[in-house]
Chain A
Amino acid sequence: MVEADHTDALNPATLARIRQMRDLYPSPRSAVLPALWAIQDELAYLPAWSLEVVATELGLLAGDVEAVSSFYSMYFNHQPGRHQIQVCRNVSCGLRGSDELLRHLENWLGVEDGGTTTDGAFTLEGTVECLGACGGAPMMQVDRFSYENLNPERAEEVLTKIRNSEPRDLD
């Protein structure tokens, strides 16, 4: 059986990044996580063929790469919403109302924990690790950014803005 070559399906910049990471580490295998991140940054998730690309580039078996990607909860094997909402419900957030916050967002967005809104804007996740922002509990992280000291109204405001916003950069 001849396997299809999918390297062309990726943006050349993504492929260049994977090769750069491969050469940076003392062992190419160390570039698995960074390579998966590079692909997920481009495609928003990791289609099965993309794992084969990583395997080919790093000299591994596709099964090796899948065994790694499936261990980590932040890699998606299906298309998520354009924005990922993570509601922290660990101890500090739980003490300050995160369960109520999640319930409110489930109702307001019309999805359950883990679901994606019908317009594809948001995937809501309420089963996540402690997000390390306990000083601003309750909080949610939307994509890379933390929104702290939330109540239902403030969370709605934040998400309404994001729904139509352009990507932000570091500053």
Chain B
Amino acid sequence: MDDEKVLTRHLGAPGLTTVGGYEKVGGYQGLRKAIQMGPEAIVAEVKASGLRGRGGAAFPTGTKWGFLPKDVFPRYLCVNADESEPGCFKDRVLMEEFPHQLLEGVLIAAYALQVTHAFIYIRGEYRFQRELLERAAKEAYRAGYAGKGVLGTKWDCELIVHGGAGAYICGEETALLNSLEGRRGQPRLKPPFPAVKGLYGQPTVVNNVETLSNLPYIVTEGGARYAALGTEASPGTRLFCVSGHVERPGTFEVPMGKTTFRDLLELAGGVWRGRQFKAMQPGGGSMQVLGPQHLDVPLDFKAVAEAGSSLGAGALVVMDDSTCLVDVASRLVDFYRHESCGKCVPCREGTYFESELMHRLEAGIASRAELAELSDICANMEGRCFCPLGDTATWFVMSALRMFPEEFESHCGAGRCPVRAGSEVAA
């Protein structure tokens, strides 16, 4: 598509991962402009852009910033680079290809919020990407964009890249804060929200990598121009990750609201091997399954919610007609069981029972009574867990059961997976 790009507009420019290469395409001009504008004007521009958080919850970024209590210092900025949502790999691309665009966005936000410490919390598995960011941060210090007296002002800003160590739950913002404080990565009770009491008990903003990577554009080109790239209800562009049974998996930056799931599927070359489309999971592993009847739904927050799912963290996993939805659901439930932090009973025990039952179902040895029990287990988890991890461990399973009830029922007592007939099934 020929639509204007924001996040990937410099794609292909030489030396983009170095400070010099990024400056050649206008890099760090946004930070210079932001410092001239002053904090209030930056916040106003971000509000005008309509930018909503790209980590999954889609909360308006300017509004989130506005929750910080006035005159309480120090405050902190934490960048959520813990990208671990199954099916999502956009933040990885943004960090590998455009590390300085992210750092510039972080510094713009840090200046707008008047923080002196910005932390980038990156998942442990992204060790290589962590080292790239550490190198980029060093360059930013040397060039005077970070550290003492940024660009000759009296403002000091430390950029600290902090590596996690393998815990999906640390993508939840309060678990992230605990982890950053050197504790077990378990979520905190809200309220108080991080904006009031966050890192070290101080006002804190947690923003996603993609969210912040939009800021250099928003500051240089203006919030109104950014907003106009999408629709009124879903402003701007977004980087979607398309994977699964497609010909050309990858990331695609598209305008929000004006693009449909079908457009995304076409950008990824359509369903692979000439097979038929069966189902898709937008948003990432946590989100509900959608079917062929939803292909023409636009990538708009409200439209996707009405279809029964969410844009989440910007993924699209496509499944062809050879896919067993019970197998996919079982795989996802195993993941949540493994990643449940153990803090609350409904999630810790619920994911255990859920996964044991899904294994039996996929192996064809569960009874119909057990299938009914699955709904019961999920009903006792959703809305009863301490944080969203436990809730989301039920969403794909329950939506798949509603959309493909025959497929679940046909597994009961079948002695094997009836969909992947002939293939080996691991119980």
A interface with B by C-beta (< 8 Å): 24-27, 29-34, 36-37, 58, 67-68, 71-75, 86, 89-92, 94-96, 99, 127-137, 141, 143-146, 170
0/1 string, B309-342, CB within 8 A of A gives 1 = 0000001010100010001100110010011010
Contact A91 B167 (CB under 8 A): no
Contact B281 A91 (CB under 8 A): yes
Chain A residue with the shortest CB-CB distance to B339: A129
Set of chain B residues within 8 Å of A74, measured between Cβ atoms:
124-125, 165-166
12 additional contacts, CB 8 Å, given A72-B167, A130-B85, A137-B243? A33-B164, A34-B163, A127-B338, A129-B125, A129-B335, A129-B338, A133-B92, A135-B89, A135-B242, A144-B127, A144-B128, A144-B131
0/1 string, B365-405, CB within 8 A of A gives 1 = 00000000000000000000000000000000000000000
Set of chain B residues within 8 Å of A132, measured between Cβ atoms:
83-84, 88-89, 91-92, 123, 125-126
**Nearest CB of chain B from residue A166's CB, rounded to whole Å:** 17
The answer to whether residues A68 and B182 also contact, given A90-B285, A130-B335 and a CB cut-off of 8 A, is yes
Chain B residue with the shortest CB-CB distance to A69: B165
- What separation, in Å, do the CA atoms of A128 and B185 have in the docked complex? 17
Contact B331 A94 (CB under 8 A): yes
A-B contacts, CB under 8 A, total:
153
Give the number of chain B interface residues (Cβ < 8 Å): 61
**Nearest CB of chain A from residue B138's CB, rounded to whole Å:** 12
The answer to whether residues A68 and B183 also contact, given A133-B92, A134-B87, A170-B132 and a CB cut-off of 8 A, is yes
| Contact residues of B between 229 and 281, Cβ < 8 Å to A | 241-245, 249-251, 281
- What separation, in Å, do the CA atoms of A91 and B70 have in the docked complex? 44
B73 within 8 Å of A by Cβ? no
Set of chain B residues within 8 Å of A136, measured between Cβ atoms:
249
Contact B124 A31 (CB under 8 A): no
Set of chain A residues within 8 Å of B85, measured between Cβ atoms:
130
Set of chain B residues within 8 Å of A91, measured between Cβ atoms:
86-87, 244, 281, 285, 317, 328, 331-332
| 3 shortest interchain CB distances as A-B pairs | A72-B165, A32-B182, A74-B166
Contact B165 A134 (CB under 8 A): no
Set of chain A residues within 8 Å of B241, measured between Cβ atoms:
134-135
- What separation, in Å, do the CA atoms of A30 and B127 have in the docked complex? 18
**Nearest CB of chain A from residue B34's CB, rounded to whole Å:** 24
